[in-house]
Amino acid sequence: MPTETFFNLPKEKQKRILDAAAQEFSRVGLNEASIANVIKEAEISRGSFYQYFSDKEDLYYYYFYTLRSHNHRYLIQAIAEREGDLFAGIEDYFFRLTPEMFTGKNHQFYRHLFMNMDAHGFQRVMPYLEKKVEKAHCQQKEHIKKNHQDLERVVNLALIDVNDSEELHVLFKMLMHIVFSTIQEGYRYQKLYPEEGQERMEKNFMRKIKWLKNGAGKE
């Protein structure tokens, strides 16, 4: 997570740093990315960079967080349009999200992110789905808190087998893991099956959702 010093920067300078991060992380994946390129493009010193972020991985996943925050409104809107049906809303969200992931403005960043994501990468991505992110800056904590309040506001708990908000967030995290893991599979399918990769990804997603919603066991 960025330091307090980063959040105290003028918005224009924060944007310049994130724009530089976008350029570098869209060019190559995390392992190949160069801090030197970021600081050159952002017009900051190396010393300043380390006042804002602990390392390039810290910047990388914060940049992902900013993109995911922009997508949050799609999720809330999708669930609301389905009258609080969490599963139906997640399905609609997935089909709204994937065009952005595969062909949108940030598709190169997403491609590098998901094609190179290992267990550690999932651990860095998934914490943003927790109810609390202890290392987050206070402004981020408020933003994360609002996101979860939005979710609790639009989900109709009468439609799902959960007892309280804690259980809702466990279920939500499971659903989002399905979204992310299926997108990761989609990039592999795209490479292996150019003509039918997207169809395979979509069928796999719907199969996983059905199993989670209805169970995989036979009567």
Q: Is the pTM of this model over 0.85?
A: no
For tokens 């972020």, name the residue.
53
pLDDT given at position 216 = 84
pLDDT given at position 132 = 46
- Rounded to whole angstroms, the Cα distance separating 54 from 49 reads 8
Structure tokens at 74: 């799609």
Q: Among 2, 67, 58, 51, which Cα is nearest to 30's?
A: 58
Letter for the amino acid at 181?
S
Give the residue ranges of the chain where pLDDT is below 70.
126-141, 143, 219
DSSP 73: H
pLDDT given at position 134 = 52
pLDDT given at position 131 = 45
- 15 in helix, strand or coil? helix
